[in-house]
Structure 1
Amino acid sequence: MSVHEHDGPSPGGLTLPALSESRWLRFSTFTAFYFAQGVPIGLLTIALPAWMAEQGRDLAEIAGFSAVVGLPWAIKLIMGPLMDRFTFMPMGFRRPWALFAQFGLAMSFVAIALLGGLEGESLVLLTTLGFIANAFAASQDVAIDGMAIDVLPVEDRGRANAFMACGQRFGFAVFGAITGTLLVMFGLAVAAFTCAVAVGLVFLLGAIVIERPGERRMPWSPGAAAEVDRATEPGVGSYMRQLIVVLFMPMSILLIAVEFLNRVRDGFAVVVQPIFATIEFGASTEVYTQANGIIDLTAAVVGVCIGPLIDRAGAKRFLLGALVASAALHLLMAFSQSLWKDSTFILPMWAAISFAGQVIFIAIIAMFMNICTPSIAATQFAIYMSLANLSRTAGMGILAAVGGGLTTQDNFIVMGGLLIAAAAMLVFVREQRPVV
């Protein structure tokens, strides 16, 4: 497959097809950007909370740190409409925003690397810089999701979601393990700089790849906007009216409620899991992050294998099964306290919960994509995802407020109950399948 002659060569003379021309380039590019989203998750959500727990920080403090650092994912509510309404079409419909956000994410890690230690006021600065890093990561996520909706054929969305979810999972699995080890061995500066290098490499990929033939790779490059028939609302008023209508459709509200319950559970898990691993199970930060990396990598591969099945059989069926299975696993954990230090029990349970979580993630994204209206897809999908991430932050905030009164067993029971409630609500959701 070749690009058009007016599509200038990429840096170094490399010639690639545009995303619109190559299925596997779309899959690989979106997967790489999702991998980059996993890098800050690995450091800020996996490695640092585990390190803090091992250093004796209490549950409320870890939950507060995680809640503040995770809060910027709500920026999708702002960035979605901004990206829909303001574009630089010669470089593509979403790509300029993706490059801007990716560069900002890399620079945020450089700033964290220059911070130094984690004590006293440095922890406040780290929380602030982590907030900024996640703001750029969330912006990149919005841009890539919008780009995916724009260039992915509907028949490829389930498989693409699987690859993208795999990429993010690989990102936080690998960098959770790497930064967890680097934090212990060399400190925060080396861990953060390693993240900056990885994110920077993905930025270079984004600088090479274009959305459609003939577009510019950089603002100063030759090229022009591709002629694409996109239905857009001419006025802000009509745009907002259409957005409100689709968001408040019954199926939309139900699916938001299902994801709310699931993501509140995720918020609990972000805090409970590293504390359980280091305090109850007795693992060190290094052992925990490395084991977490292996399990998450395996879960990512499982997700890729399931993607095509979701396309054929429907996302709702997989989502319902995964929610019920995960609920059962959480309740089994709650009532198996005598086995909490037994690795032959804990590791398979941990892996099974991760596998179920990956299926939930892939299936529910596919369901949200399928109910998006093309003319407002970036905004609509961004709102769905920002609400999901706000729900996760809410879970962390709830745990920070009441966590002192809950035992580890109580936390597992609550998480299982949330998943049961999500599965019960999903029964009433009528799946909207794309026509291909």
Structure 2
Amino acid sequence: MGDDPRRDAARLRLVFAGLYFAEGAPMGFLWWALPVRLRAQGVEPAQVALLISWLVLPWAFKFLWAPLIDRVQHRRFGLSGWLLCAQSGMALTLLPLLLIDWREQYQLLVLLVLAHGVCAATQDAAVDSLAIRSVAPADRGTVNAFMQGGMLVARALFGGGALLVAATWSDDVLILAVVAVVALLMLFAVPVAHRLAGRPPATLEPSRVGEPQAREVALPSALGPTRGGYAAAWRAVLVQPSTWIGLLLATAVGGAFKGATALAGPFLLDQGASQEQIGSFFLLPVVASMIGGAALGGVLSDRAARRGSRLGLVAAAEATTILLVATIGALALTLAEAIPVLGFFALYVLLYVAIGAATSSAYALLMDATLPSLATTQFCLFMAGINLCEVWATRAAGWWIPSFGYGGAFLGLAGVSLLTLGLFVSLARGRLANR
């Protein structure tokens, strides 16, 4: 980039916001709009939850092929080659949705979204690796806020927006629009990623969660994949205590809000909201709330990092999400008929603000716990844990809803999250140094 640090920092933030926009467009349609459309067609909540869990599953296991992104890179294209292939796959796996009946060919729908998830998870891993290698540690909270903002705007337009215009625009038009966005941003991502890959890597070398002060890990430098290189990468990651502490945060603490938001559309629909109301909600209030929360969390996270108190901020934000999910669950269980649907909309707005703050601050904390030489593998493992959290939370909610209703399911998830949050904080405060 150029010689002006401030201008370079601004460009960097916009670059990653754009890359996450390409990721968020199909996520909006598949994660927000599709579940509501299926529920409106009579598909049971348990089946909707099952589809969501299959969609998220590749994200939970992308760490299995993440070392290939670290170890196998074209000498000319580097990470941009992975972005090109992944985003091409994202577009191609969406096109068959134009040709099938979603309800009648449900199993084929599941296979297609699963294939799309593999490509999207690979794209996400490459983008995260690029961020760790090119973003200065002091700017990571703010960059994460921009990344979340780009993704959320896209999810709003192609999730909430898709529901809002469903009466006038066919699903085929919306799918083609998503494909077009992914393809256009693919052309943008390749040259930009190529330039970023030429920058010196970030120098953060963490030893403890929230305390960036440890040694780097030396790995074989050969370009091609080898069994030794793959195994060495995993050994280097798994011997870090910060890996296991980070995984606890990633896989368990966010279960309450992951389950409550994955089923937000069907929940609100069953509380009496219309598809148009839900579409409007996802289009503006949800995204504005999460962007505002992410911006607040990013700024506070960077300030907390300078004081060595990022961990406390993450704990407070996560605790707030748990409290709000428990409140929604308790009201749905005991006073659902007395609470107007606008009351649940309001509670979800507060929840999304807290989620935005928790996400940007937690991602920055996890980046602090990531070694640059293992950027894709270790951080991808954390991100996979976050998505595994959504898989188990959504599946658990799907199992509990037929017996206990939405309220009982949300309260159960809140209880699990509260217990694991306490365990995470106690372990992280122990400052387990990397060996």
Q: TM-score range by the shorter chain?
A: 0.7 to 0.9
Cα deviation for residue 101 of structure 1 reads 1.0
| Structure 2 residue aligned with 1:222 | none
Q: How is 1:85-104 mapped onto 2 (pairs within 5 angstroms)? A: 85-91=71-77, 93-104=78-89
Q: Is the CA contact 1:322–1:359 (under 8 Å) kept in the aligned structure 2? A: yes
Correspondent of 1:321 among 295, 316, 335: 316
| Structure 1 residue aligned with 2:252 | 261
Which segments of structure 1 move beyond 6 Å, counting only runs of 4 or more? 225-231
Secondary structure at the aligned position of 2:195 is classed as coil
| Structure 2 residue aligned with 1:351 | 349
Taking a change above 3 Å as real, the CA distance of residues 367 and 48 of structure 1, as seen in their structure-2 partners, is same
Correspondent of 1:199 among 182, 186, 193: 182
Q: Is the CA contact 2:67–2:377 (under 8 Å) kept in the aligned structure 1? A: yes
**Percent identity over paired residues:** 24
Cα deviation for residue 31 of structure 1 reads 0.8
| Structure 2 residue aligned with 1:62 | 48
Deviates more, 1:166-175 or 1:335-344: 335-344
Q: TM-score, normalised by structure 2?
A: 0.84
| Structure 1 residue aligned with 2:66 | 80
What is the root-mean-square deviation of aligned Cα atoms in Å? 2.9
Secondary structure at the aligned position of 1:406 is classed as helix
Correspondent of 1:50 among 29, 36, 42: 36
Cα deviation for residue 272 of structure 1 reads 3.2
Deviates more, 1:352-361 or 1:201-210: 201-210
Q: TM-score, normalised by structure 1?
A: 0.84
Q: C-alpha separation between the residues in 2 aligned to 1:431 and 1:36?
A: 39
Taking a change above 3 Å as real, the CA distance of residues 324 and 200 of structure 1, as seen in their structure-2 partners, is same
| Structure 2 residue aligned with 1:14 | none
1:217-261 CA-to-partner distances (Å, cap 9, x unmatched) read: xxxxxxxx7888997511753663463354344443233122222
Q: Is the CA contact 1:264–1:393 (under 8 Å) kept in the aligned structure 2? A: no
1:117 aligns with 2:117: no
Cα deviation for residue 32 of structure 1 reads 0.9
- How many residues are paired up? 405
Q: C-alpha separation between the residues in 2 aligned to 1:346 and 1:405?
A: 21
| Structure 2 residue aligned with 1:160 | 143
Q: Is the CA contact 1:104–1:136 (under 8 Å) kept in the aligned structure 2? A: yes
Q: How is 1:142-291 mapped onto 2 (pairs within 5 angstroms)? A: 142-212=125-195, 233-234=219-220, 236-237=227-228, 240-241=231-232, 243-280=234-271, 282-291=272-281
Q: How is 1:14-25 mapped onto 2 (pairs within 5 angstroms)? A: 22-25=8-11
Taking a change above 3 Å as real, the CA distance of residues 300 and 35 of structure 1, as seen in their structure-2 partners, is same
Taking a change above 3 Å as real, the CA distance of residues 418 and 358 of structure 1, as seen in their structure-2 partners, is farther
Secondary structure at the aligned position of 2:260 is classed as helix
| Structure 2 residue aligned with 1:375 | 373
Q: Which runs of 5+ in 2 are unaligned?
A: 204-216, 221-225
Cα deviation for residue 380 of structure 1 reads 0.8
Q: C-alpha separation between the residues in 1 aligned to 2:75 and 2:238?
A: 27
| Structure 2 residue aligned with 1:297 | 287
Taking a change above 3 Å as real, the CA distance of residues 211 and 308 of structure 1, as seen in their structure-2 partners, is farther
Cα deviation for residue 46 of structure 1 reads 0.9
Q: Is the CA contact 1:272–1:411 (under 8 Å) kept in the aligned structure 2? A: no
Q: Is the CA contact 2:17–2:151 (under 8 Å) kept in the aligned structure 1? A: yes
Give the AA of the match of 2:318: L
Q: Which runs of 5+ in 1 are unaligned?
A: 4-16, 216-224
Taking a change above 3 Å as real, the CA distance of residues 238 and 79 of structure 1, as seen in their structure-2 partners, is closer
Give the AA of the match of 1:55: Q
Cα deviation for residue 79 of structure 1 reads 2.9
1:388-427 CA-to-partner distances (Å, cap 9, x unmatched) read: 2122112223333443222122022113213312331232
Q: C-alpha separation between the residues in 2 aligned to 1:401 and 1:295?
A: 29
| Structure 1 residue aligned with 2:209 | none
Give the AA of the match of 1:336: L
Q: C-alpha separation between the residues in 1 aligned to 2:293 and 2:354?
A: 10
Q: C-alpha separation between the residues in 2 aligned to 1:70 and 1:229?
A: 29
1:386 aligns with 2:377: no
1:425 aligns with 2:396: no
